[in-house]
Amino acid sequence: GDSVTQMEGPVTLSEEAFLTINCTYTATGYPSLFWYVQYPGEGLQLLLKATKADDKGSNKGFEATYRKETTSFHLEKGSVQVSDSAVYFCALLYNQGGKLIFGQGTELSVKP
């Protein structure tokens, strides 16, 4: 079945370091791909999305490119801040299904 796999956390970085969180997916069709972020004590918030191959989603300095050939949607940020500390979830969605399929989440901790 369809699934999403993320790199294991926690990931600990120093402020201004480069971030990559790997995400790969298995899907039978052509899903949309999402990154959600969960800050402590809050719900899941959409960070960025891509709806077709080669699309790049970006928001708040984060980027991810939908790579059909490698079935990946890796999250990157050039310079992380302490305020980026959160749990990041990669997810896929089939337009006609409506249910999000999540990866296991990756906790990011950024130290000053």
Residue 78 or 97 with smaller CB distance to other proteins = 97
By the rule CB under 8 A, 102 interacts with other proteins = yes
Per the structure block, which two tokens stand in for 54?
A: 């080669």
Given candidates 21, 92, 103, 106, which one binds other proteins under the rule CB under 8 A? 103
- 103 contacts 6 by C-beta, under 8 angstroms: yes
Distance CA 41, CA 47 (A): 17
Supply the minimum distance, in Å, between the C-beta of residue 111 and other proteins.
23
Interface segment toward other proteins; rule CB under 8 A; list 21-29, 66-74, 76-84, 99-107: 99-107
With a CB cutoff of 8 Å and minimum separation 6, the contacts of 26 are: 1, 2, 3, 4, 5, 71
* Choices 7-15, 16-24, 73-81, 87-95; region in contact with other proteins by CB under 8 A: 87-95
Across-strand partners of 64? 57, 75
Cβ neighbors of 78 (< 8 A, separation 6 or more) are: 18, 61
Per-residue contact track with other proteins, 47 to 86, x per CB under 8 A? --x-x-----------------------------------
| Chain positions contacting other proteins, by CB under 8 A | 32, 36, 41-46, 49, 51, 89, 91, 93, 95-105
